[in-house]
Amino acid sequence: MALPEIHPHNNKELLWDIAEGNESSFAVLYRHYARTLLPFFRKFTRDESSANDMLQNTFLSIWLDRAKLPDIENLDAFIHKVAANRAYTWMAKLRSVERLDAIAASRNVPAQDITYQEVLFREAQKLVQEAVDAMPAKRKQIFQLYKEKGLKYNEIATELNISASTARNAVAAALDSIRARLVESGLYIFFILFFGSR
């Protein structure tokens, strides 16, 4: 069955699918808007890691509030408003981080309030790390070169003296194990946010 596509004016089918929990349709939405939102976030953060965090948090908030999506009349405006709010929040936190750290130190409490989104995000990160730690040594090494260092399959092959297909298969197996762990915990949506869909 073909997935709904993003249209300039009519996205009701896609939004209804997402509202009903269709993760494949959500992946379509994510892929479409991530291409423009990531450069937008980079302008604010000037940091790739922070920009990616903002992108993931933007789509996480959309997913958690997905029941309201069918009521959206202008999807572009809605998505960019959520993104702009996320950027504003990031800048506000950045400006106040020293003050918050001082308060936290004096009261021995976390510097930032832990929201529901942050709890889910941290749990998903923990599960991903557990999955990586449980991998066979060679697969873990290949995956870290691919994900953390951003090497391509042929570059990994050259560095480790293996074939590119071996590197590709190891990465695929690594992603499968991560996905399985997130699915088991009901957090598959983070697989899309962290790695895209495959």
- pLDDT given for residue 188 in this prediction: 81
Distance CA 102, CA 61 (A): 29
Taking only the tens of pLDDT, the chain with its 198 residues reads 444 556 644 578 899 999 999 999 999 999 999 988 998 888 777 788 888 888 998 999 999 999 999 998 888 888 988 888 887 777 666 654 544 455 445 445 454 544 556 677 778 889 999 999 999 999 999 999 998 888 999 999 999 999 999 999 999 999 999 999 988 888 887 888 788 755
Structure tokens at 21: 């929990």
Q: What is the CATH number of domain 12-107?
A: 1.10.1740.10
Pick the CATH number of 117-195 from 1.10.10.10, 1.10.287.890, 1.10.3720.10, 3.60.21.10: 1.10.10.10
Give CATH 1.10.10.10 domain extents, the chain.
117-195
Give CATH 1.10.1740.10 domain extents, the chain.
12-107
